[in-house]
Structure 1
């Protein structure tokens, strides 16, 4: 699988990959031992080109969205649709849409009889 993916690389990526293979033979063998998982190869080449873990962006985004969830407030019922839309949007991005803890926080933020 890796041999095939190597043929799809552009000039710059191919040079970076060849340099990596020559410099770090053990890591290259480790990648091959993981099996036919193209995502591992793609993540490694992305790391070589941009110098950071390609998955870290989503983690930063998730923690930012969790912070925004904590800041959501609902003072009166006239804005409940916007509040719930924001809540659903943020929980889906942070992958907490079915998290009971976040649902309890939502209920606690509701005003009057429904809130706690």
Structure 2
């Protein structure tokens, strides 16, 4: 049986727990978004490097990578002899509110591949 002193304690506990749960949910969503941005950078770097290695033009490969990359990402393609080096860097949006105090990650991915040998028409 409850005494009169315990009346309203559930309300006080809920008033404390609810904002904490919302903060944890916001942190989780921000973290998932950051991981997805990183995975998209990795996919874009690999797709672009493979396209250049197959012999596609740099601009065609860049367009292919831009489809997989997060919005606003920069794709840098360099080629030295048969080695192709692709770097994709994204700048995710900054978190708001309490999450603004968190460090701002800069997702970046690199792919290095060897160009395929030239095909000869024998």
Could you say which TM-score interval applies, normalised by the shorter chain?
Answer: 0.3 to 0.5
After TM superposition, the score normalised by the length of structure 1 is 0.38
Question: Going by fraction, where is strand more abundant, 1 or 2?
Answer: 2
Larger Rg: 2
Question: Going by fraction, where is helix more abundant, 1 or 2?
Answer: 1
Greater RCO, CA 8 A, separation 6+: 2
